[in-house]
Structure 1
Amino acid sequence: MNLTLSLDFQYTTSIEKLWSALTDSNKLSKWVANIHTGQAMENDFKPVVGHRFQFRTQPTEWWDGIIDGEVLFVDAPNQVSYTWVSGGEKHTVNWKLQDLGDGKVNLHLEQTGLSNAQALNGAKYGWSKWCGQLETVLEQ
């Protein structure tokens, strides 16, 4: 099975500020957190094609706390795409930013390669929670 998660989020911000929150490792660590513990995830993300990165957090009994990735595509400040490898699953995460005018930006997430409904539902829960936290980062 090869499922795709597709979500849209709207933020009152500038496209540049949203791009920075998606691609700056310090800002990423403020909203991409361990779903189970809420602990921030250290990362060495850079928006450079071919850059290999990791998100790291405290392991749990269900997960080793590591997400590996490689940047596949960058078109600042409109689109960034990377692999997302964790727990035996390998997905592709693609973010598209669209300036809607009036200080609003649409953020479209597409995560492909999900192997089953449980992985899809887990990804939907995780990104929905994270993108709620992302709003807080944008307001700072």
Structure 2
Amino acid sequence: MNDAALEPVTQDIVVDEVFPHSPETIWKTLTDGELMARWIMPPSGFEPVVGKRFTFSTMPAGEWDGVIHCQVLEVVPNQRFVYAWKGGHEDNVGYGSRLETVVTWTLSKAGEGTRLRLVHSGFVLPKNDTAYQNMSEGWSKVMHNLDAVAAEQEASSTRH
């Protein structure tokens, strides 16, 4: 066996969807804390401002308290939203292992709607295998939830 087989590999999760909502509606759904709580998890201390730190809380495991530490890295209204996503603990194996990743949302016009591309990058395999598997499935569900919240936003804005 050569050394290359032992080198960690980084892997990204990519979810690319087209939604029948305007970029402005998708943007608001992505960057409004109250709306985020409905499609992903309630953020604590969130503002869509570069440098702003915020957290999500999920199920703790082993030495990890379940807190995901995030920091806004880039904000380009109606186009791009990027934040660091860090969690886990060095002593954990599997669920709750140390994770240092980046979540990038890219919006682009697609006909009457919006193409939304999510790239969650930086999973180190095999260390982050469990997180990669769980979040690969999870992000697809999150995109479905985001679509539903965006649809509600568009419906309520046309009623006013």
Q: Shared fold (TM-score greater than 0.5)?
A: yes
Deviation at 1:120, TM superposition (A): 2.1
Name 1:138's counterpart in structure 2. Answer: 150
Q: Establish whether residue 114 from structure 1 lines up as the match of residue 120 from structure 2.
A: no
Name 1:105's counterpart in structure 2. Answer: 114
Runs of 4+ in 1 over 4 A off after TM superposition: 60-63
Deviation at 1:4, TM superposition (A): 1.2
Aligned mate of 1:3, from 7, 11, 15: 11
2:122 is matched by which residue type in structure 1? Answer: G
> Alpha-carbon deviations, 1:7-40, whole Å to 9, x = none?
101111110010011111000000104xxxxxxx
Decide whether the 8 Å contact of 2:106 with 2:116 is kept in 1: yes
2:37 is matched by which residue type in structure 1? Answer: S
Aligned mate of 1:129, from 131, 135, 141: 141
Structure 1: give runs of 5+ residues left out of the alignment.
34-40
1:42 to 1:49, Cα distance in 2 relative to 1, 3 A: closer
1:5 is matched by which residue type in structure 2? Answer: I
Rounded to whole Å, the distance in 1 between the matches of 2:65 and 2:137 is 19
Deviation at 1:64, TM superposition (A): 2.9
Provide TM-score, normalisation by structure 1: 0.85
Task: Count residues with an aligned counterpart.
Answer: 131
Q: From the two aligned structures, give the one with the greater helix fraction.
A: 2
> Alpha-carbon deviations, 1:58-112, whole Å to 9, x = none?
x34566332110011111110011100121201011110011122x111001111
Decide whether the 8 Å contact of 2:43 with 2:54 is kept in 1: no
Bigger relative contact order, structure 1 or 2, given CA contacts below 8 A and separation 6+? 1
Rounded to whole Å, the distance in 2 between the matches of 1:89 and 1:17 is 30
Q: From the two aligned structures, give the one with the greater strand fraction.
A: 1
Structure 2: give runs of 5+ residues left out of the alignment.
1-8, 89-97, 153-160
